[in-house]
Structure 1
Amino acid sequence: MIVLDDLDKKALDHFRGFVVKKDLVGIIKGGANVPAFVLEYLLANTCSTEDEEKLKEGMENVKKILRDHYINPEESTLIQSKLREKGRYKIIDKISVDLDPQRDRYWANISNSNIKKANISDELVRTHEKLMLGGIWAIIEMEYDPMIMIGPTVYPFVVRDIKPIQLSSFDNSKISDKRKEFTKDEWKTLLLRSAGYEPLSEGLDERKLNLLLCRLIPLVEANFNMVELGPRSSGKSYIYKEITPYAILISGGQGSVAQLFVNNTSGRVGAVGLWDAICFDESTDKLFKDRDAIPLMKDYMESGSFSRAKGGEISGSASIILNGNINQPVETVLQTSHLFSPLSDEVNYDTAFLDRINLFLPGWEITKFSPKNFTNHFGFSTDFFSEILKSQRKTTYYDVIDKYFTLGAHLKQRDSKSVRRIVSGFIKLLHPDANYTKEDIREYLIIAMEMRRRVKEQLKRIGGMEFWDTNFSYIDKERQEEIFVGLPEDRGSHLIDSNPLAPGVCYTATSDGDNNSLVKIEVVALRGTGKVNITGTNNQEVKENIKNTFNYIRANEKSILNEQHSLAGYDLNIQVSNLMGAYINGGIGSAVYVAIISAIYKKNLKSALAVLGNISIGGAVERSLHFAEKVSLLSENGAKTVLVPFDNLQEMTTLPSSILGKTDTPFYGNSQMLLQKSVSGDS
């Protein structure tokens, strides 16, 4: 009994003939080593229906075609015999071609049929150039002619015709016209079902769905470079092997200059000129057969072209994907090395190569797939789906960000280019009708910044100061508000944000000698009449600190604030949060001071900043008690800078050397110096 959900019915209504029930592939495939796009090519014509009888009939028809024409490797002798008996026969198989320079002719090799050195015309090879680059799946018309001899050897097998297994024509306007019939969530679900996933299954949340969509970006964006490292069995190569005839999977260490770029003898352009995507599987072992390929690959990844030995530029549009396994927890890798370290030794410390990566997909977040994660609903047949993806490569939405947002100062040219292209990729996938909202673009921009920032953060670990600008942000043009985008793995166990702190946010620590607490101060300044509202604590000493700090600012308004920012024009909501520890003690006035001023002026504070000390109502900076305990607690939880009163100077010797190695402790003597050392230079 077929159970359809509303999206299945909608897909059938609008795309009948181009959608198939995705679990049929698994049912038919059985032990056959045939890609999904081959099966769905056959299924789409007869099985794009909810009628159970027609579905069974269609499946029987496909099974018959496979039974009669698809060759399993163990049947190779039988098919050769059939060819001899019948003289002519159609088979479904993978065909590739080699050049025999000694005889100045091409030979076809037919994979499962185990036919080597079949005769093939130069014209067929010219028509289907991919035959020379790993081969293609096709319906092949074969002949047997025992009269063909070279010297004493008979070469009886002849390839008469080839019909590649992909759509012969495709109209992209159908997709843009029909997109409006679906909500964004429905379209995203349909796309992911078309790729074989079940978005509504347990374990796939919105974050993981967006990561799975990232795998499709190299298929809609030309010359896009991506790395994905993750556990085994998470489907890293599945997309490029199974769902499109326009991508090629190259096993680790197999990429040669002739195969990838150009054969200097024949002048034939390699894989970069003929495929939409080249996926290097197992990039953790070895990438290239010869070292000459690395400078060519760098050149190509940067510009989409390369120079050949005999002069002249050759261009291609293939995207490059590097896939590999990461065998340790990410936290462990980050403690001892960098996230590119699992890649092949040829490139894992080559910053020029790695900087050309547009997107680093955190494959460690994608669950190992179980049967429930694969769909049994309707999705686009893979030949139709691959044409949808291919058709988008000619359009670009590179400048869409500029309608609503400005990119922050830390994004250099390569960062900006990468972020723009990722956003463009998401628009092509989810809005092929170019109908999107500002909030859609914001969502894609945040994902894009994270994916490129991951590259930059690892380059900073390898290359140091050259890649220091990693605080990625965007500015909302309408609100003139700057938002910083962090990385999930950077937070790790750190409670203190490693990005520039948002206006009004500051961290501190309290201690009574026995109980240490990590404290977050958050101040929101709204236009109002000068009220102060304190939440998050009932401790009288803490409330007294806050009131004294507020009264100090009010008494010295003319020297601290300008006329447009008078305290009388704001209501302040001050929240005190205990992030770690038993309870909060006093001594937080300096952190409150910094938070209030930054909230009023909407200024970001420095990345991973904490402030110790207290300001009296008269403006005196008071020494911080239990200094070493507080600095240690802040440092262990991510503080990179802890501002400290001058009166604590003599206690520096009590700090462990491990703390001094990873946290700066600048001193301040008055409120003005405190403010100067707190405010981010990036805001």
Structure 2
Amino acid sequence: MSDLDSKINEHFAGFVVRKDLVKAVKGNAIVPTYVLEYLLGQYCATDDEASIQTGIETVKDILRKHYVHRSEAGLIQSTIRERGRYKVIDQISVSLNEKTDSYEAVFENLGIKKVSVDSTTVKAHPKLLVTGVWCIADVQYEFSDEARTSPWILESIKPIQIAKVDYEQYRDVRQAFTTDEWIDLLMQSIGFRPEVFGRRSKLLQLLRLIPFVERNYNLIELGPKGTGKSHVYSEFSPHGQLISGGEITIPKLFVNNSNGRIGLVGYWDVVAFDEFAGREKTANKALVDIMKNYMANKTFSRGVNPMGAEASFSFVGNTDHNVPYMLKNSDLFEALPTQFHDSAFIDRLHAYLPGWEIDVIRGEMFTKGYGFIVDYLAEILRHLRSEDFSNRVHQYFKVSEKISERDRTAISKTMSGLLKLIFPDGSQTEAEVEELLRLAMESRKRVKDQLARIDSTYPEVDFHYIGADGVKRNVTTVEEEEYPQFYHIKGGAVGDDREDAPLDLLVISPMDPTKVAGAPAVLTGKAAASDTVALAEGHFVYAENRKGVSYEKLFGPHLDGASLVVVTDPYIRLFYQIRNMMEFVEMLIRRKRPEDQMKVHLVTGPDEGNVSRQRELLDSITAACTGSGIEFSWAFDTSGTAHARDIVTDTGWKIVLDRGLDIFQPPIKTEGFSLGDRLQEHRVIKGFYVTYVRVAAEKG
């Protein structure tokens, strides 16, 4: 086990489970993860390997005997008849038969209907009346000569849901974990390996959980296929309900006026709409109107009487085009059905999660570590729905007074949700609050900026906040920094078809982030020392998770004409880091004249325990450069004092980098091909800064 896994088991014994066990017991059972983890939590909530193996066999035996496969429904029905009573695990729903004035259950997999249910059971579990609920049930069979009497009887039922949890203990134990450890624990709890995600990517995954922890929260996520958008709503919690976007109706969602029965919003914490996007899809105007009213006011009409509910909405769908295409030709909501591509509906969304920043889910992303039993965490999050943590921001920062009350509410709800998830104990620092505040404001700004494109009556809004020092800090979205030539165009169309528009950068002073035009020039093809390029000093900051960045664009113009380039980076150690060094050299070979000679010298630190491999790889760069006009050399910093990461040329430029050449997120080992492996512009970057400084030129 990792140190984190040991710590998790030490502090949350009995409430965590090894996440890869779900796959070990699932087999061909089509059952949500929370059902399996409920069973695993009964028998495998330990770090003792022998007990885990025994528990796995017990859970497998329970599933084998009691989980109903549709293909074996007839056999189970026969078993119930022969024994008179039998325990099954199935998805059960209940309806009222008005002709007989009695409740009747339907067992989804077992395939039996009109199962007699007493009213006490229905009152104890009202969700059964709304949709299917996974349960462990005792079913009885008593044949009667009365033709209208069903032989099936629901004797007892237990929804698969963990017993009452101790929230105070959960909150107190949080203090034993650092912020990074706690975020990683939450990541493992939803099934992912934290080490393959950057900080921002982790926070975006946690953003998906806010509807479970915030009442009446409206989230939308649009992005490419295969990024796991609907997974958390179908597998994570028994308090969430995932429905297809095409299945939305007023009676199902809100209220059936013919019988007065309340819909999904009255019984579930989260209602998620899967496959919500699709321009060809249509929606009932009355449904759209009632949804807009509910999203804004938390109420809907039951006949003439308004009713309130607390369900959060989450809309997930696939985009047809990439981000620059949408920004150039339409807007980031272009994939929505026409009836929902409506400014009033969009304005009621509290946050837009950029699905294009989330990587396609692959097998190597799933964790084998420990995480909370999802049902345990679901109960904790449900408890937190009644609290409001948004006021924790006010002791550090003040959100701009220029934004609307709806914007302010959206930011506050997102902030409250993130604080509940990561700092339930209130241990957040000023820097951590600022990180979450920027994400919350960005998530709402993405909505508001697109509204300005869709509806000209919406003014552009200055999204900023002010710290205790009184200095204004602007907020931008990642795609705003990445595609400035398209982002600020109203009307959804751009006449400029330039594909070589310069990379736009965000210039940030220590206290006052501001947007500036212009960037280091980018030369294409072979660059000559005589070529004149306008280069300026400056400090540039790049947001995590953006693409379109390369060594060519960052460094190329500043290195043109140099005959000596010295790279100081103590962390050119691992294979992918040494590959970065090789790609830096390749960039120089592409840019220089064939007849020119250039020396490139690397100063780095030794990879303790694997120095021989590091030497071999670095020497291979030297050998590869033979005959190229580049002379590559390297040396270890023997003094151990070289913590700087910079690039210095003999033409008078010093480029300071807080991450050195390690600006790209590490590749995830996988078979096959990806553009990110071949082209730097298609790789996701880490957050980093670069500073260009003129120094005295030292030829030779």
Normalised by the length of structure 1, the TM-score is 0.72
Distance 1:504 1:91, change over 3 A: closer
The aligned residue for residue 559 of structure 1 is none
Q: Does 1:306 align with 2:297?
A: no
Aligned residue identity for 2:332: L
Superposition deviation, residue 537 in structure 1: 9.8
Give, as a single letter, the amino acid of the residue that structure 1 aligns with 2:61. Answer: K
Mapped partners of 1:492, 1:91: distance in 2: 54
Match of 1:51 in 2: 48
1:454-533 aligned at under 5 Å gives the runs 454-464=446-456, 466-477=457-468, 479-494=469-484, 495-496=503-504, 507=517, 517=533
Residue 268 of structure 1: CA displacement?
2.4
In the alignment, the residues of structure 2 paired with residue 184 and residue 500 of structure 1 have an alpha-carbon distance, to the nearest angstrom, of 26
Contact between 2:508 and 2:514, CA under 8 Å: does it hold in 1? no
Q: Does 1:74 align with 2:68?
A: no
2:218–2:312: 8 Å Cα contact kept in structure 1?
yes
SS at match of 1:404: coil
Matches within 5 A, 1:185-200: 185-200=180-195
Distance 1:269 1:252 in 2: 19
State the 1:500 CA deviation. 11
Tell me which of 183, 199, 210 is aligned to 1:206: 199
Pick one of 287, 290, 298 that aligns with 1:293.
Answer: 287
Residue from 172, 177, 181 that aligns with 2:176? 181
Equivalent residue, structure 1, for 2:336: 343
Question: 1:470, CA displacement in angstroms?
Answer: 2.9
Is the CA contact (8 Å cut-off) linking 1:486 and 1:499 kept in structure 2?
no
Judge conservation of contact 2:44–2:52 (CA < 8 Å) in 1. yes
Tell me the CA shift for residue 457 of structure 1: 1.0
Partner of 1:41: 38
Q: 1:453 aligns with which of 445, 454, 463?
A: 445
> Could you tell me whether the CA contact under 8 Å between 2:505 and 2:519 is conserved in 1?
no
Distance 1:193 1:112 in 2: 31
Matched, 1:140 2:140: no
Corresponding residue to 1:247 among 231, 240, 248: 240
Q: Please tell me the residue identity of whatever aligns with 2:186.
A: L
Equivalence for 2:624 = none
Q: 2: distance between equivalents of 1:100 and 1:340?
A: 43
User: Which structure 2 residues correspond to residues 77-156 of structure 1 after superposition, within 5 A?
Assistant: 77-147=74-144, 149=146, 152-153=147-148, 155-156=150-151
Q: How far 1:293 sits from its partner (Å)?
A: 1.7
Query: For the Cα contact (< 8 Å) 1:147–1:154, is it kept in 2?
Result: yes
Q: State the alpha-carbon separation in 2 of the partners of residues 115 and 421 from structure 1.
A: 44
Do 1:490 and 1:498's aligned partners in 2 also have CA atoms closer than 8 Å?
no
The question of 1:234 aligning with 2:231 is answered no
User: What displacement does 1:498 show?
Assistant: 8.6
Q: Is the 8 A contact 1:233 1:368 kept in 2?
A: yes
Q: 1:361 — aligned with what?
A: 353
**Whole-angstrom distance in 1 between the partners of 2:149 and 2:518:** 85
DSSP-derived class of the 2:272 partner: strand
1:354 is matched by which residue type in structure 2? I
Rounded Cα–Cα distance in structure 1 between residues aligned with 2:243 and 2:167: 30
Superposed CA deviations along residues 607-655 of structure 1, whole A, max 9, x for unmatched, are: xxxxxxxxxxxxxxxxxxxxxxxxxxxxxxxxxxxxxxxxxxxxxxxxx
Name the TM-score, length of structure 2 as normaliser. 0.70
Q: Contact 1:509 / 1:516 at 8 angstroms: preserved in 2?
A: no
Q: Contact (CA 8 Å) 2:103, 2:118: kept in 1 or not? A: yes
- Letter of the 2:462 partner, please give it: N
Q: After the TM superposition, which residues 338-487 of structure 1 pair with which residues of structure 2 at under 5 Å, given as runs?
A: 338-348=331-341, 350-464=342-456, 466-477=457-468, 479-487=469-477
CA–CA separation in structure 2 for the residues paired with 1:287 and 1:407 = 38
Distance 1:155 1:504, change over 3 A: closer
Kindly provide the amino acid, as one letter, of the partner of residue 206 in structure 2. L
Deviation, 1:313, is 2.2
Deviation at 1:508, TM superposition (A): 6.5
Q: Secondary structure at 1:332's aligned position in 2? A: helix
Q: Distance in 1 between matches of 2:262 and 2:295?
A: 16
Q: CA deviation at 1:90?
A: 0.8
- Separation in 2 of the partners of 1:198 and 1:139? 31
Aligned length: 517
In structure 2, relative to structure 1, the CA distance for the partners of 1:272 and 1:510 (3 Å cut) is closer
Residues 1:493 and 1:357: Cα distance change in structure 2 (over 3 Å): closer
- How many angstroms apart in 2 are the aligned matches of 1:509 and 1:54? 60
Q: Taking structure 1 as reference, are residues 445 and 505 closer, same or farther at Cα in structure 2, changes over 3 Å only?
A: closer
Name the CA shift for 1:77/1:516 in 2 (closer, same or farther; >3 Å).
farther
| CA deviation string 1:170-207 (max 9, x = no partner) | 22101111001111111111111111111113xx2111
For 1:320 and 1:72, how far apart are their aligned partners in 2?
Answer: 32
* Alignment partner of 1:21 is 2:21: no
The residue aligned with 1:161 is: 156
Structure-2 separation of matches of 1:498 and 1:182: 34
**Given the alignment, which residue of 201, 215, 218 partners 2:211?**
218
**How far is the alpha carbon of 1:467 from its aligned partner?**
2.2
Supply the RMSD in Å over aligned alpha carbons: 2.7
CA contact (8 A) 1:504 1:522 kept: no
Amino acid at match of 2:297: S
Deviations 1:567-617 (A, max 9, x none): xxxxxxxxxxxxxx99xxxxxxxxxxxxxxxxxxxxxxxxxxxxxxxxxxx
| CA separation of 1:102 and 1:121: change in aligned 2, threshold 3 A | same
Which amino acid in 2 is paired with 1:191? Answer: L
In the alignment, is the contact (CA less than 8 A) between 1:507 and 1:518 conserved in 2? no
Native 8 Å contact 2:324 2:483 kept in 1: no
TM superposition shift of 1:282:
0.4
The answer on whether the counterparts of 2:260 and 2:302 sit within 8 Å (CA) in structure 1 is: no
What amino acid does structure 2 have at the position aligned with 1:441? Answer: V
Partner Cα separation in structure 2 for residue 504 and residue 181 of structure 1: 38
Unaligned runs of 5+ in 1: 525-535, 539-580, 583-683
Is the 1:94–1:110 Cα contact (8 Å) retained in structure 2? yes
Name 1:62's counterpart in structure 2.
59
Deviation at 1:292, TM superposition (A): 2.1
Q: What is the aligned counterpart of 1:325 among 297, 318, 327?
A: 318
**Alpha-carbon distance change, 469 to 402 in structure 1, aligned in 2, over 3 angstroms:** farther
Helix, strand or coil at the partner of 2:385: helix
CA shift for structure 1 position 148: 7.0
Instruction: Spell out the pairing of 1:557-636 with structure 2 (5 A cutoff).
Output: none
| d(CA) in 2 for partners of 1:190, 1:510 | 41
Pairwise CA distance, 1:80: 0.7
Return the letter of the residue paired with 2:88.
I
1:411 partner letter = I
Contact 1:262 1:270 in 2 (8 A): yes
Give, as a single letter, the amino acid of the residue that structure 2 aligns with 1:306.
F
User: Taking structure 1 as reference, are residues 287 and 180 closer, same or farther at Cα in structure 2, changes over 3 Å only?
Assistant: farther
- Other structure's SS at 2:390 match: coil
Q: Does the aligned pair in 2 maintain the 1:220–1:393 contact within 8 Å?
A: yes
- CA gap of 1:139–1:426, structure 2 versus 1, over 3 A, is same
